[in-house]
Structure 1
């Protein structure tokens, strides 16, 4: 803890970030597994966590982790840094705009680039910070540079305390060597991992009604895992595996919400299912608050081929057929870049079937992604 105190003491003071009050609404919450990462290093802990994780991925593909080695104060410091960035003048933020049109995403994504319904655009601002290795050195606004050492410390602790443990557990779920996924997700490799600050701007009741209360259509994420640090505004929903509806994801105290993403689905023929989720307007007692987020996106080395892993578990459980033959030969980096570019350039329902419950968008090499109302 002394190292963190030293980092914060040498940086300019930040306004204290105060988390919003939790909703008083009774919502239909998803029943998610919680993994206690402190158990990882205890006798028999990996086996217990592996069993829990196996159950989680068979159910809904979302789960919580707790006791991950970062305090809520450290997490709230990151929320404060993100909020300070978004408070900058637009002219300053635009100097650090990401090259989204060409599949780049590090840097700033402005408000309103994606059409979520004809005539209505997204309400999100994003600032992405890549891994802290020489290959990804780039310029940042002063508010980020002033706290750069603290951000680096936070990002690397996420990798060491959370990412490495989860990747080990996924290998054990598949009865592979413990370091199987670590070899393709090492921190010093060129990959698309990044820390994200995010702001959802509140909308009026009239605006929400016009878009059916859906801020971000149902979708899957691009890489291996997504880590969402707890913030109390209820807005995230997960689609049930049978397609029967949506459940709210509860902001569990001092937790990280984790969801599986596309790469793990490709690598396991759909056994590790890329979780379908969306963002909707919060309940009425949280409607007047902007929703800030701190996330970490886990992605493998960019040249990893999207081909199934050699797991006997997949054979035993019947996941021995390719989830998408057209994906063979594609790399993780190709897939991420194409999905980023698609998100900016095209309305998700690009196949001309507007208004349906499920739409498809061709991403790369004939492989499609689905979007859900």
Structure 2
């Protein structure tokens, strides 16, 4: 469980590695509509695309942490099944994105095999939106718990989307309407396992990438996740900084869909997973990622117009006419070909017309 008690069982995160400075936001304050906390969420979503979300100070948050504990237990049990059993449910992208991905199935930047395995559970499968998919008995036995976790994670997602709606001056419910839990999508719960790496051969486990969807809610207890600061060179290993897991907190990051909808105001930041630092490198690293994607027929065009601060198309610009399904397929082809993947997106300055700024009390430009 991502609480103090769970963290106390693990080797300490070392103090001698570069650590990213992520805003730590209170879920309890966001639930009450706290303006300062909501503005801090928006600022983090614009400038880094990552923030910590602390669930410890309210009943709703503590309930979510308890469900996360159960998911960690299922994660460990699933990824410890016999390889032959797991391969019956093999993940076969791009057409079958759910099931088991074995170690080395994908490549890292230099072409060597990755060092991560995971089981990807489809939300549509668990919630009954799609036909039931084949899963190991262990998944089926815990279907109700997995569904409950997804439903609670979706509530967290909706809250974040409502805050971003407000900050972007979009009608309430705009972003949530593009990723409802009741319509077919690629949203999933990914249960990841990173084995310890051998001394003398420690390297990237999962290549640098941005998330294709809209939001990711990530729980882990051991280091290894790294992000690339703005303006840094992805090819320079010294440029990457660790994200230190914190008790009671999820790591939340925005994906590429948010960049598209906001015309680049929101940021999807490049990140990767490497070996855990310090004494943590000897431990198995489990991670739990709720990966939110738009529903398949959702439009991917920018959400400009009305009172929104999202800029309209400039002369010579063309908006996409693709649906989320088409856009994801297009991006997947580009990524597989080694194009348009290893870079951060978004983070553009906000420029508000004078009339709109006067009406809303916004500054002319927020840098």
What is the TM-score with the length of structure 1 in the denominator? 0.79
Superposed CA offset, 1:260-305 (max 9, x none): 1010011111111111111111113111112111110111111112
Counterparts of residues 1-16 of structure 1 (less than 5 Å): none
Counterparts of residues 250-329 of structure 1 (less than 5 Å): 250-310=244-304, 312-315=307-310, 319-321=311-313, 328-329=320-321
Of 83, 87, 92, 1:99 maps to 92
Q: Residue 200 of structure 2: SS of its match in structure 1?
A: helix
Is residue 35 of structure 1 aligned with residue 28 of structure 2?
no
Relative to structure 1, is the Cα distance of residues 340 and 157 closer, same or farther in structure 2, using a 3 angstrom cutoff? same
Q: Residue 120 of structure 1: SS of its match in structure 2?
A: coil
Q: Is the 8 A contact 2:64 2:149 kept in 1?
A: no
Is residue 217 of structure 1 aligned with residue 189 of structure 2?
no
Shift of 1:147: 1.3
Relative to structure 1, is the Cα distance of residues 89 and 155 closer, same or farther in structure 2, using a 3 angstrom cutoff? same
Once structures 1 and 2 are overlaid, which stretch shifts more, 327-336 or 164-173? 327-336
Equivalence for 2:354: none
Of 42, 49, 52, 1:54 maps to 42
Counterparts of residues 61-140 of structure 1 (less than 5 Å): 61-67=49-55, 68-100=61-93, 102-116=94-108, 118=110, 120-131=112-123, 132-140=127-135
Q: Is the 8 A contact 2:108 2:206 kept in 1?
A: yes
In the alignment, the residues of structure 2 paired with residue 321 and residue 247 of structure 1 have an alpha-carbon distance, to the nearest angstrom, of: 35
Structure 2 unaligned regions, length at least 5:
1-5, 56-60, 234-238, 345-367
Relative to structure 1, is the Cα distance of residues 320 and 134 closer, same or farther in structure 2, using a 3 angstrom cutoff? closer
Equivalence for 1:198: 192
Superposed CA offset, 1:121-141 (max 9, x none): 101111111121231521210
State the number of aligned residues. 324
Counterparts of residues 236-255 of structure 1 (less than 5 Å): 236-243=225-232, 245-255=239-249
Superposed CA offset, 1:308-356 (max 9, x none): 10255545xxx5457x96871222223334555666x55x4xxxxxxxx
Q: Residue 293 of structure 1: SS of its match in structure 2?
A: strand
Shift of 1:23: 1.7
Relative to structure 1, is the Cα distance of residues 309 and 76 closer, same or farther in structure 2, using a 3 angstrom cutoff? same
Superposed CA offset, 1:13-32 (max 9, x none): xxx99963332333222121
Which protein has the bigger strand share? Answer: 1
Equivalence for 1:9: none
Is residue 235 of structure 1 aligned with residue 207 of structure 2?
no
Q: Is the 8 A contact 1:228 1:296 kept in 2?
A: yes
In the alignment, the residues of structure 2 paired with residue 88 and residue 339 of structure 1 have an alpha-carbon distance, to the nearest angstrom, of: 33
Equivalence for 1:11: none
Compute the RMSD of aligned alpha carbons: 2.6
In the alignment, the residues of structure 2 paired with residue 20 and residue 327 of structure 1 have an alpha-carbon distance, to the nearest angstrom, of: 49
In the alignment, the residues of structure 2 paired with residue 47 and residue 151 of structure 1 have an alpha-carbon distance, to the nearest angstrom, of: 33
Of 139, 144, 157, 1:144 maps to 139
Superposed CA offset, 1:199-230 (max 9, x none): 1122112222xxxx32223210000011101x
Structure 1 unaligned regions, length at least 5:
1-15, 349-360, 362-367
